[in-house]
Structure 1
Amino acid sequence: MIRIKCFLLFLIIVFSSEILAQTKDVNGKIIADGDLDRIHVINKTASKFTITNSLGEFTIPAKINDTLVISGVQYVPKEILITDIIMQTKAVTINLEENINVLDEVVVGKVLTGSLMTDIENSDAKREMNFYDLGIPGYTGPKKTQTERRLYEAQTGGGIVPLNPLLNWISGRTKQLKTQIAREELAIAIEEAKAKYSKLIFEDDMYSEIMQNEYFLFCGDDPTFKDIYDLGNDMITLQFLKDKLEAFKLHLEND
C-alpha cells in the first residue's frame, strides 16, 4: 500500500511538472482609450515578443508563471503573470492606463519607454538555456524534405561494404545534396524572418518591398545568420537584424 501511494504521488508530481512546463499560444486583448496598434508585448521569462494589431490583439507563446511586459509610448507599462486560469483559457485581457507624466518626476530603477529594443533590455529578459548551450545533440522532429530523403537514401546501404554510400560519395552526389539542403534551409529561414520581423525592423525606416527583400538576402549572406535564427530566440535574432540593417545602409551608400 505504501509503495502504491508513493507511486501515485510520483505520478502527480511528474504530471504537475509537465503541465507547468507546457508552452502554449496565449491570445491577448489590450483595452485602452488610445491607439492600440503596435503595443509591445514581451515575455521576459521566455525571451519572446510580439506587437498588437490595430484592434489591440496579440498572440504570444507562454507557460505558467511566465511574466508578460506590456509597453507602449502613451501608456503606463504593465506586467502580467501567466496563471493557470490564463493557460486553461489561452486568453488574457489587459487594461492599460494612459501615461500622464509630471515633469521633473524622479524615477528610480529601469524604465519602459515604448521602444522595443530599449524595453527588451530594461525588462531583464534572459534567453532560456537549450541543448545547444549544453553541447547536447537535439532533434526538433520536422518532417524530412524530398532532398533530405534523397540524401538519406544516398548515405544508406547494406552489406559488408555498402556500395550505395560509397558510389554517391565518389560521384559527388552526396555533397551536392548536402549543399542543396543547406540552400533550401537558408531560404526558408530568410522567408520566416522576413514574415516575422519586417514590421519591427522597418518601423522607423521606409523601404520598398524590393529593398526589404534585398535586405533579408543581405542578412542571409552572413554565415552566422542561420545559426542565430535557429536558436529560436527573438531577442538575439532581432538584435542581429538591427545590426545588419545598419550594415545594409552603409552597403547602399557605398554602392
Structure 2
Amino acid sequence: MKTNNTYFLFLLFFCQIVFCQNSDREEIHGIVQVDSAAVERVNIVNKTTQKATSSDKNGNFTLFLKEGDLIVFSAVNLVTLQKVIVQSDLEKTILLVQLQTERIPLKEVVIKEESKITAESLGIIPSDQKKYTVAERRLYTARSGLLDRPLNWISGRTAQLKKELAVSEKEQLMVKLEYLFEENFYIETLKIKKDYIRDFQLYCIENNDFVSALKSKNKTLSKFYILTLAQNYNKIIVYEN
C-alpha cells in the first residue's frame, strides 16, 4: 500500500513538472524545408526543455516554445541548425525553418590509369589506335580521299578545319586548367584580379612549356610554370593600365 502511494506521489510530481514547463509556452506549428521542398524525419529538439519531435512527410512539426528557447534541427546529409526563439517567431502563424544540404568538399581526386575501363581494355578497339577529337576527325576526313583533299583545299575547308582544331584544343586545355586550380589560388597566391582570371588562363595556354605540363597532368610542374607566367602577366597588366 505504501509503495502504491509513493508511486502515485511521484507520478503527480512528474505531471506538475511537465505542466509547469508548458504552461508558459505556446504550441507552435512549424515547417522544415530545404530549397523550398519539405523535409521529412528531421530531428527537432528543444534543448531548454529537452522535448523532442520530428518532421512528418510534409515537413510539419509542433513544439511548445517560448522566447529564449534553444531549438536544434538535425538530420542525415543536412547542416545542423541551432535556433534561439525570439518574440517574432512566436507571433508567426507558421514557423518556417530553412535547412541546407551538407556538402563534402573534395580537395583532390586521383584517378588511377590501371583502374579505367575503356574500349581498349574491353577489346572493342586496338590498344594502339589513336583517338581523335571531333575537330581532328573532320580534318582527317577532309584530307583523305583522292578528290576530297584537292576540293577541300580549293574551297578553303581544310584551312577552316585547322582553325576549328586549334580552337578545340584550346577549349580542352581551358577545361583542364579550370579544374586544376581553384579561384582562390589565382587571387591570393598569383595575385590575379578576379575579372582577369579568364584572360590569364588564355595567356597561360599560349605557353608551350605550360601546355606540355598540363597535358602530362603534372600539377607540380604546372604550378611551377604558372607562378612565373603570373609574374609576367601582372607586369603586362600594370603596364597597360
Same fold (TM over 0.5): no
- Higher RCO structure, 1 or 2 (CA under 8 Å, sep 6+): 1
**TM-score normalised to structure 2 length:** 0.43
**TM-score normalised to structure 1 length:** 0.41
Q: Computing the radius of gyration over CA atoms, which structure comes out larger, 1 or 2?
A: 2
